[in-house]
Chains A and B, each alone.
Chain A
Amino acid sequence: MNCLEVRELLPELAVGVLSSEDHERVERHLQWCAGCRKEATDLGAAAATFAFALEPAPVPQGLGDRVVSRVRRAAGTPGTPRRARMAAAAVAAAMVAVASLGWGAAMAGRADRFAERAERAEREQAAALERFQRVLAGVIPGQELPDDETHLGQLRPVAGGSGGGAVLQLVSPTILDFVMVTVSGLDPAETAALPYRVRLENSGGDVLRAGRIDELDADGGADVFHEFKTADLSGYTTVTVVDASGEVVLSGVVDQSA
């Protein structure tokens, strides 16, 4: 899909009436095309104006408590141990760092100008790691986190499938090890493929479960975060996302040597 075709569809994307098929195609283009992304952002902001122009309606009493309760339950915040909670707080910006790799990085291997794209992906990866380091250092005061404790990898589709993703691992002697996986571009309409499961494997064939994806957003995206209270992630460098039937849909390798 080229820019001309995408721009023709952007007004309908902005007002939310694009078919799911076109929506997916446009979103894929927007992942790497800054010009079209800017246009989409501008048109989307204009469309949202309509929502704000409505006469405000009174909100039911108690709705705020119900919203807070639902989000907190989903986030699993109550009763989290101190070390785990500190790490979980770091997830906020770390996820941003990982998500920023998303499609741009995942598509690097499929692009025509491979070298150029790969170089850009590498720069993005370094920047993402740097952001992550800064955030984690801020969240855990006094905790020096050497560069060699955080590792990134990219997920690519298997056997001509769609989607991509990024993986961030923390392998540390002082903080609980964790892994974050961000996927995008999977087919949200293919509900039979749910749940997806994320697995980590070492060279000896040992497998750790890193979480499951029960639903995808409209972009075919989802995030998984898993903290390992006992396991050490050293050597668990192969990351796979498998669908409900056990087929591998995305795979990648985390470079723990960096």
Chain B
Amino acid sequence: MDPRPDGPLLAREEQQLVEGLLAGNEDAVRALYARYARPIFTLGLRLLGSAEAAEELTQDVFLAAWRKAARFDPSRGRLSTWLMTIAHNLAVDRLRRETGVTRPRLVLVDQVPEVLGPDEDEVLMERDVAIRALQSLSDAEKQLLARAYFGGLTAREISEADHIPLGTVKTRLRTALIKVRRANQDKERP
């Protein structure tokens, strides 16, 4: 089902996988899982703080992706981005419902600890691209984005905590995101 197990998917291949997912096709679900389960689980672990919660999140993400599959539009972004957005939104929703969640230390740049399977080559490439893109940011910009993305802090909360105008926080967030986007643009879909 996965037509290119060793590299990034073309838009039509992503669409095929999503259509397979919508139909509940096992091969399609397994192909998607092989490619994306690891970053989804990792994000869950980082945000929710336990392997159990991350596992639940991973299951919820694939189920939500099945439910939303009809709305996936390859012209609006890559499948990996779409899945990670679902994962992040579900995790943040859960965080807001719970309190006292302990989160592990944030590690953005480190060596990959073990050999990954062939289906996960794309994940490695995504990570390589991501790390390089984040290098375009200053430490202050990384911290700002991390506080929002991983910490769930709104622009207003950051503004109040740092005693800087709300408009300045929003502008800095946007500027940082645009920098990352520009750094990513050379590595768009093949």
Contacts and interface: CB of A to CB of B under 8 A. Distances in A.
Interface of A: 8, 10-12, 14-19, 37, 41-60, 63-64, 66-68, 70-72, 74-77, 88-89, 91-93, 95-96, 98-100, 182, 217-218, 221-223
Contact of A50 (B38, B62, B145, B173): B145
Nearest to A73: B24
Interface in B107-166: 107-114, 116, 123, 126-127, 129-131, 133-134, 145-146, 148-150, 152-155
Interface centre among B66, B67, B71, B129 (most CB of A within 10 A): B71
Given A76-B24, A217-B64, A48 B84 contact: yes
Contacts of B71: 96, 99, 221
B114 A54 contact: no
A226 B43 CA distance: 35
Contact of B88 (A11, A16, A67, A72): A16
Contact of A15 (B123, B133, B173): B173
B3 interface: no
14 contacts: A12-B173, A15-B148, A42-B178, A45-B181, A51-B149, A53-B133, A56-B38, A57-B38, A57-B54, A72-B26, A77-B23, A88-B23, A100-B73, A223-B70
Interface of A is mostly: helix
Contacts of B177: 11, 14-15, 42-43, 46-47
Interface of B: 18-26, 29-30, 33-34, 37-39, 41-43, 45-46, 51, 54-55, 58-59, 62-64, 66-73, 76-78, 80-81, 84-85, 87-89, 92-93, 107-114, 116, 123, 126-127, 129-131, 133-134, 145-146, 148-150, 152-155, 170, 173-174, 177-178, 180-181, 184
Contacts, number: 218
B126 A54 contact: no
A19 to B, nearest CB: 8
Contacts of A17: 92, 148, 152-155
Contacts of A18: 154
Contact of B29 (A53, A72, A223): A72
A76 B67 CA distance: 12
Contacts of A68: 26, 29-30, 33
